[in-house]
Structure 1
Amino acid sequence: MGARSAEALAKRAAKRNMTVEEYCKSEQGKGSNGDAASLDAKRQAAEDRQAAAAGAKRARADAPRPRHGDWTCTGCQFQNFASRDECKQCENDAPNKDERERVQAAKKAAKEKTSDPARAWVDSVGKNTVEHIDENRRLRDAYTKDKTTLTDEERTRAEALLARDERKKQKKGQRSPAPGGGAVRQNRDEWRDLRRQQAAA
């Protein structure tokens, strides 16, 4: 019990309907947060909670995460890896071997199919080659000059290209004007046309 004035002790004792001596006697066994027995119980409960939480974390960290295809033994409930044909603990056969083999084959095929990430875009680039761009330009020019020189397939492709070009122009026109009254965009478009003509030559 801390150093309290006689007046403070009298107030506290009166508040609890005790005499000052009774109050002092009851306060001797108490700590700052309650009586000694309850403090020990609180400490023990906190230690138990920490130990239980640490044990649960350790158990979660030690247990391997189940992966696709892993299986649980029906005899002993042991968690086995997908690659095992028999339970590691009781040596029972894995349930439904055909299904597990199918899953493993699919996993293996997916691994083999996955290509080098640096070259994953290669398939989509085939249409953006210089030859393809030149062919599109040739189709546009031939369609605008003389449609009869093109085959039906080429004519259809040229019409689609010109329609796409028109949609792009309309979309550009709908954008908010650039600062400077659009002169920058016009200069840019002229510059691009010049570069395309130089590349074609």
Structure 2
Amino acid sequence: MNNKGRLFIFSAASGTGKTSLAKALVERMPEAAFSVSHTTRAPRPGEEHGVHYYFVNPTQFDEMVAAERFLEHAKVFDNSYGTSRAATENLLRQGKNIILDIDWQGARAIKEKMPESVSVFILPPSRAALEERLSARGQDSPEVIARRMRDAVSEMSHYKEFDYVVVNDDFDAALADLTAIIRGQGSPRPVQVDIQSLLAGS
């Protein structure tokens, strides 16, 4: 179909704000849809099945993998995540621009299968800002936060694999950058962040 939508991949380290940005984009852009992933992790406070994620147990997830029902799937923080092939293809046929909120492993898998997709990596303005955001959740122990910070460095090291890099230093500005990317209105702001500092050892 001529009106087929496009697939946009958003990736970032945990706590960078990509899920909030993706949600805001879908709310302001009727042509965009937020893909809901399947996961084996437990729901966080306020999360709803079928809205934030489809929460399934490991056995159910493995059965879906065996049936090739995922466009991509990966294990992150000891839990599995996957993107439904049927749901994604259906939304694209409807002319929707789909936003996938997935990790770099999933982004790489999608790019291999769908090279026409557009990938965006979202960075925090600094390590201190990222640690503050992770701590502000109030849901994780200091040990878990320290682990997430270490894992964040590993995740952020893959930013060069993406088509665009956006820094979430100011939410509205980052949202404007992402809107421009989806609407094909040029590149986002130059990346003004000390990437070497972000990627330095903890």
* Coarse TM-score class (shorter-chain normalised): under 0.3
Greater gyration radius: 1
TM-score (norm 2): 0.19
TM-score (norm 1): 0.19
- Which structure has the highest helix share of the two? 1
